[in-house]
Amino acid sequence: MSVPQRSVADLHILENEAAKRANASPLPGPVGDAFGKYGPITIGEIIVRPIVASDWKIFTAVDSPIIKMLMEFRQNPAAPMQVEITDDEECMLCYQFTRPVKEARETLAKGLDHYKQVACEEMGDKVDAPVLKLIQSAVMEQIKRSWVTAISFKEKLEESGEVTFFQEAGTTSQKTA
């Protein structure tokens, strides 16, 4: 018995359907309000998925310029999110967000050179340059959405006093049980 091969588009459809089912049962309270409102961005038939926790590990492993850009954004959230990126880095970034994160992790597990080669073959060799730029813009939008949402959520928690670990030492009154 063989397992049928699925196309990337089929996998995206299945992933989106799973996300819809998961989102039908929202997270409780403010967590759901903060992080459950954005979904994938589509460019024709290409789906650019939202950022997830594993993406940060991939960014670090490939020494992505996204990390530097986000550090700059952290210092000034009102500044435009801009990044200097090479052709190979663009292919790796677009590859990462146009497939399930598990696939990107598995490709990277075979080594950085392998990851770069696969990303350049899948994106640089198969996708028109203007479309690649649109994918990159969509990825940047997904990152921005995630970052702005996290900052807003953090600020709301601080204001309500629901969490204090973001505050500087010495500015919180500790309650003991």
Q: Is residue 2 part of a domain?
A: no
Residue 67 lies in a domain: yes
pLDDT at 84 over 80: yes
Containing domain of residue 129, as a range? Answer: 9-155
Q: Is 72 inside any structural domain?
A: yes
Residue 129 has phi, psi (to 5 degrees) of -55, -45
Percent of the chain with pLDDT over 90: 44
Question: Across residues 20-40, what is the average pLDDT?
Answer: 56
Flag whether 161 is in a domain.
no
For the segment 54-74, the average pLDDT, to the nearest whole number, is 87
Q: Residue 167: which pLDDT band, with cuts at 50, 70 and 90?
A: low
Q: How far is Cα 19 from Cα 130, in angstroms, rounded to an integer?
A: 29
Predicted confidence band of residue 121 (pLDDT cuts 50, 70, 90):
very high
Residue 69 has pLDDT above 70, yes or no: yes
Average pLDDT of the chain, as a whole number? 79
Number of folded domains in the chain? 1
Whether pTM exceeds 0.75: no
Helices (H), 25-170: 29-35, 53-61, 65-75, 87-97, 101-109, 112-119, 129-160
Within a domain: residue 80? yes
* pLDDT reported for residue 155: 74
Q: Are the beta carbons of 143 and 70 closer than 8 angstroms?
A: yes
